[in-house]
Amino acid sequence: MMRVLGTLVLSAATLLAPPAPVSAQGRQETLIVIVESGPNSMDIHGVGANRPAYQASWNLYDRLLTYGVKRLPDGSRMYDYNSLKPELAESWTLAPDGLSVTFKLRRDARFHDGTPVTARDVKWSFDRAVTVGGFPTFQMKAGSLEKPEQFVVVDDYTFRVTFVRKDKMTMPDLAVVVPAVFNSELARKHATAQDPWAMEWLKSNDAGSGAYKLESWKPGQDTVYVRFDDWKSGPLPKIRRVIVREVPSAGNRRALLERGDADISFDLPPKDFAEMAKAGKLAVVSHPVENAFAYVGMNVKNPPFNNLKVRQAVAHAVPYEKIFSTAVFGRGVLLTGNPIVSLTYGHDLFPSPYKTDMAKAKALMADAGFPNGFETTLSFDQGFATINEPTAVLVQESLGQIGIKTTIEKIPGSNWRNMLLKKEMPLFLNAFGGWLNYPEYFFFWNFHGQNAVFNTSSYQNPDMDRLIEAARFETDPKKYRELVRGFAKIEITDVPRVPVYQPLLDVAMQKNVKGYQYWFHRQLDYRQLSKG
x/- track of binding to other proteins for residues 421-440 (CB under 8 A) = x-------------------
Nearest to 178 by CA among 132, 231, 238: 132
- Cα of first residue to Cα of last residue in the chain, in angstroms, is 48
C-alpha–C-alpha distance, residues 315 and 326, integer Å: 19
Which residues, numbered 275-314, are part of the site for other proteins (CB under 8 A)? 275
User: Which is nearer to other proteins, 95 or 255 (by Cβ)?
Assistant: 255
Report if residue 37 touches other proteins, rule: CB under 8 A.
Answer: yes
> Out of 40, 59, 307, 455, which residue is the one contacting other proteins (CB under 8 A)?
40
Report if residue 249 touches other proteins, rule: CB under 8 A.
Answer: yes
Report if residue 261 touches other proteins, rule: CB under 8 A.
Answer: yes
Report if residue 460 touches other proteins, rule: CB under 8 A.
Answer: no
**3-class SS letters over 337-375:** CCCCCCCCCHHHCCCECCCCCHHHHHHHHHHCCCCCCEE
Which residues, numbered 128-187, are part of the site for other proteins (CB under 8 A)? 133-135, 138-139
* Nearest distance, CB of residue 480 and other proteins, angstroms: 24
Report if residue 397 touches other proteins, rule: CB under 8 A.
Answer: yes
Widest CA span in the chain = 82
User: In residues, how long is the chain?
Assistant: 532
Nearest to 296 by CA among 441, 143, 399, 180: 399
Report if residue 24 touches other proteins, rule: CB under 8 A.
Answer: no
Nearest to 43 by CA among 176, 173, 183, 205: 205
Which residues, numbered 313-342, are part of the site for other proteins (CB under 8 A)? 322, 325-327
DSSP β-ladder status, 151-155 and 158-162: antiparallel
Report if residue 221 touches other proteins, rule: CB under 8 A.
Answer: yes
x/- track of binding to other proteins for residues 186-215 (CB under 8 A) = -----------------xx-----------
CA 135, 138, 141 angle in degrees (round to 5)? 150
User: Which is nearer to other proteins, 231 or 324 (by Cβ)?
Assistant: 324
Stretch that binds other proteins, among 37-45, 230-238, 335-343, 484-492 (CB under 8 A): 37-45
C-alpha–C-alpha distance, residues 81 and 11, integer Å: 56
* Nearest distance, CB of residue 249 and other proteins, angstroms: 6
> Out of 83, 162, 302, 418, which residue is the one contacting other proteins (CB under 8 A)?
418
Report if residue 412 touches other proteins, rule: CB under 8 A.
Answer: yes
* Nearest distance, CB of residue 319 and other proteins, angstroms: 8
Helix axes 462-472, 477-494, angle to 10 degrees: 150
Report if residue 41 touches other proteins, rule: CB under 8 A.
Answer: yes
User: Which is nearer to other proteins, 35 or 495 (by Cβ)?
Assistant: 35
DSSP helix/strand/coil, 428: strand
Label residues 428-459 b or e (16+ Cβ within 10 Å = b): bbbbbbbbbbbbbbbbbbbbbeeeeebbbbbb
C-alpha–C-alpha distance, residues 34 and 266, integer Å: 8
User: Which is nearer to other proteins, 378 or 495 (by Cβ)?
Assistant: 378
Contacts of 473 (CB under 8 A, 6+ apart): 166, 167
> Out of 409, 465, 469, 482, which residue is the one contacting other proteins (CB under 8 A)?
409
Contact assessment for residue 45 and residue 136, using Cβ atoms and an 8 Å cutoff: yes
Which residues, numbered 1-20, are part of the site for other proteins (CB under 8 A)? 1, 4-5, 7-9, 11-12, 15-16, 19-20
> Out of 196, 219, 353, 532, which residue is the one contacting other proteins (CB under 8 A)?
219
Nearest to 173 by CA among 143, 152, 150: 143
Stretch that binds other proteins, among 79-87, 183-191, 244-252, 295-303 (CB under 8 A): 244-252
Contact assessment for residue 437 and residue 81, using Cβ atoms and an 8 Å cutoff: yes
> Out of 131, 356, 382, 458, which residue is the one contacting other proteins (CB under 8 A)?
382
* Nearest distance, CB of residue 219 and other proteins, angstroms: 3
User: Which is nearer to other proteins, 115 or 356 (by Cβ)?
Assistant: 356
Number of amino acids touching other proteins (CB under 8 A): 87
